[in-house]
Structure 1
Amino acid sequence: MPTDPTTDGRLRRASGRPDWATIPNLVTLLRFLLLGPACWVIVDDPEGSWWPPVLVGVWAVTDWVDGLLARALNQQSRTGEILDPVADRIGIALVVVALGVADALSWVPVAVIVLVDLIVVALAGRAAQQGRMRVTYVGKARTAVLFFGICGIVLGISVWPEAMTVGRVLVWVGAALHIYSATLYIRAARLGTGPAVRRPGGVEDQA
């Protein structure tokens, strides 16, 4: 999410590097690059192969790794705050669509996830770009549940069928949290109230 420009400028001057040139942002870029191979192995007859869970697992873990590195290395950045949630939303949307194409997931939660993202972009995207919104705990929980659910389904269609049911349940729970999280972001964007409203005082964590 967006940062305070003054604080962002101080961080840039203190480090002597451009805002985008950080290790966490490189990890986020890796998450984008993994999307193509991850989606391909999902739809390309994955039964019996460990490649789908490995690629999707690495893709999911990078979301935690970039935030950990940003805090550990003190490399929070405006670019990272924008790229990280964008990578999450695009990544989750594409992977669940791939699961739908592979007939591993109902198209109902797929449609919910994609349509809610489009609505949030339309109604709250400008506020996020202007730095008036922050990531909520509900949003973080939603993302974590969807990641675990997706990984469960991928395990189910490749090497561990028993994981399929748990994965699907988690994706449905994640879709419900996705709707609730979206209402918080839209409320913050339209009314300027609620936990998604940006608080003054510096750079948000990459999450």
Structure 2
Amino acid sequence: MDINAKRKLRTAFMNWLFEATGGSESDDQDASEFRVPDGWTGVPPTEQDVEDAVRYLEGEHLVKAHWTFDGPMAIQLTHAGIREMEQLLSEPSERTEHFVPLVNITNIHGSVIGSQIQQGSPGATQTGHIEVNQRDNAEAFITAARKILGSDSLDARTRAQAEADLAIMSRELESATPRWPILQAFGTSVRDALATAAGTAAAAGVLSLPWP
């Protein structure tokens, strides 16, 4: 594979892993479950190509890989991997330090209900929506989370990061076609941070919401 194909494969693998684990460090996925996304152009990657991609991601401290004689098996995201994927998901048309734009990389696994997916092409347009209850849940989550931000139990770093993540979520909801995976990823990050820093009891209002 040439360098561009390698970068595209690494990006597709990380996007798949992020979606499959829900953006959590504590979950892992079997690397053999990875499939290239629909619309993949060029020669399909081999098992060796995927193994090389995992070794690169591991070397950059973006994933943890549990190896066997047959290659990588259980793969986990690291904190650094989660942060860079959140950056990529918040600006999918922009390149990050390790990944190419997500514009033309779309992973589809299992059932996709009401999804509208289109490969980029000159003059192409695309529209979509999230369900009303999803929007309501997201807005209720943001409101509840911001109330907890006033707690004295939160350290400045956690508060600043949560405020930044909630601001991104609010901007996304202002769109006529919010991107649900982005809202879900940042919602998970905020929820986990508040539950850890403020304590489960203090964050009960957020944790009880049907989100993410």
Structure-1-length-normalised TM-score: 0.28
More helix by share: 1
Looking at both structures, which has the greater relative contact order when contacts are Cα pairs under 8 Å and sequence separation is at least 6?
1
Structure-2-length-normalised TM-score: 0.27
